[in-house]
Amino acid sequence: MSVSRNTGYNLLGAAVPIALALVTVPAYLHLVGVERYGVLAIAWLLLGYFGLFDLGLSRATAHRIAAQRDASGADRAATLWTAIAVNLAMGLLGALVLWPTSLWYFSTQFEAAAALKAEMIAAVPLLAFSVPVATMTGVLLGALQGRERFVETNIISVTSTTLFQLLPLGVAWFNGPDIFWLLLAGLSARIVALAAMWRSCRRHVTGGHGFRFDRDQMRKLIGFGGWVALTAMIAPLLVMVDRFVIGALVSAAAVAIYTIPSQLAQRLAVIPVALGNALFPRLSASKGEEQAALAVKASRTLACLLTLPVLGGIFLLDPFLDLWVGHQLGAQAAPIGKVLLLAYWANAFATMPYVRLQAAGRPDRVAKLLMFEIPPYLIVLYFALDRFGLLGAALAFMLRCIADYFVLSYAAGREFSAIRLLAGNLLLLSAAAFLSIAFPFPDLIGAISMLLLASVAAALGWLNLPTDIRITLLRKIGR
């Protein structure tokens, strides 16, 4: 199956959650309130971070099963059963660590009303129990991705995400906004996904073969997954730490103001993530020049297709936030959102060398480089937040994303073939951010500026699109 088709499935699977988020965030703000929504945001961030306590086995499982493309069903079954056994132990350990960590943070560090703190503390056991559910889901997902079963994974993901968004809302509507019941509803949605993925893995990975623990496979999985696990602990921290710092130094309401545009901008990552996940099995089974050519083509394609929607998003963010969450919140969140859109645009291009390094069996380089970024980023984040407030935090995050691209690209083979194209697109987006602040849409000058810059971005993208993709698009348009 082609990488482009698998990417399309991944994008379709991501579209429904994005649409649901757009619809449900205002409903959450209405039903649970801004401060309680900030508490929920931190709770899900904690779960997302500790859910990566799978020792990197989700990525390692995808890598091993992709490499076993022509192996017997019994060999693939041994890989998956071994990954499940190790993963279950790590998930339970993660739950034991999350429990006291959450109690400490919500009791002593998080700024919120006493009643909200009490609700969150009562819900900590549910949050801890969610960890092994999340880690096991990750391993099963990795196994299916290694077999390139992207149709099944996206159907399950869409169903689970829909339930995850709607069940807590239903609970808040009928039973009130108590944090315990909201988290229980979200956990129920995750359990549904886990059961569905296990059923699919029995058909497409294990072939019905029973439990078999393979020590050799365990060494290979842990050897690869150990570095992936370190990356998985560092990378989310680099993405989430700004909200934890804001919660500790400012307030829960400030977390909500920052989280709303951050959630919007973060949706941009679905495109490079969809492409990276589709590309990973193919890169894992490729070597040398073929692997490099695939990665370079993916980066150029991203550069040509991503800039135009980001540019439009920068101009349209102000009126959209006004309609979505109201003028008072939207006016505070819009400048932050413009910077974060630029940040996630830059981060999209760091995804390709990131995936290439892992597929080449060098996840250690990714982990070491991200670890190196932590001290300077925390220093810049602290002073930027102190000096410029929430906008400063967004600027610090953007600088970190740009640094990611350069250091990972250097480590992946000193590959900067698309740097001129990226620099031109960054210049266009920076001009869009400046003009959208000076002349907010739908101001006439702002509208004209958007149309002119969008025309330049579209022409630049079309001229630099890889030839085979451009020919394919022309044929489809001709039909």
Q: How far apart are CA 338 and CA 436, in angstroms?
A: 9
Residues 6+ apart with CB under 8 A from 332: 257, 390
pLDDT at 227: 76
At which of 241, 264, 293 does a domain end?
Answer: 241
The CA distances from residue 27 to 31, 170, 177, 256, in Å, are 6, 10, 12, 14
Tell me, yes or no, whether 91 and 111 share the same domain: yes
The residue segments making up the domain with residue 208 are 1-241
Tell me, yes or no, whether 148 and 209 share the same domain: yes
Tell me, yes or no, whether 173 and 276 share the same domain: no
pLDDT at 286: 66
pLDDT at 211: 76
Written as one string, the DSSP assignment of 226-264 is HHHHHHHHHHHHHHHHHHHHHHHHT-HHHHHHHHHHHHH
Q: 204 with 152: CB under 8 angstroms? A: yes
Tell me, yes or no, whether 180 and 325 share the same domain: no
Q: How far apart are CA 202 and CA 387, in angstroms?
A: 54
- The dihedral region occupied by 449, where left means phi > 0, alpha psi between -120 and 50, and beta the remainder, is alpha
Tell me, yes or no, whether 204 and 266 share the same domain: no
Tell me, yes or no, whether 235 and 284 share the same domain: no
Tell me, yes or no, whether 332 and 359 share the same domain: yes
CA atoms within 13 A on the CB side of 308: 15
Q: Which residues of the chain have pLDDT under 70?
A: 1-14, 48-52, 70-73, 111-112, 285-290, 414-418, 468-469, 472-474, 476, 478-479
Q: Is the dihedral of CA 321, 326, 329, 331 positive or negative?
A: positive
pLDDT at 3: 60
Tell me, yes or no, whether 213 and 107 share the same domain: yes
At which of 191, 216, 241 does a domain end?
Answer: 241
Q: What are 327-357's pLDDT values in tens digits?
A: 788 888 888 889 999 999 988 888 888 888 8
Nearest to 310 by CA among 279, 337, 286, 273: 337
Domain count of the fold of the chain: 2
pLDDT at 125: 85
At which of 179, 206, 241 does a domain end?
Answer: 241
Tell me, yes or no, whether 209 and 278 share the same domain: no
Tell me, yes or no, whether 303 and 386 share the same domain: yes
Tell me, yes or no, whether 314 and 173 share the same domain: no
Written as one string, the DSSP assignment of 301-339 is HHHHHHHHHHHHHHHHHHHHHHHHH-HHHHHHHHHHHHH
Tell me, yes or no, whether 149 and 284 share the same domain: no
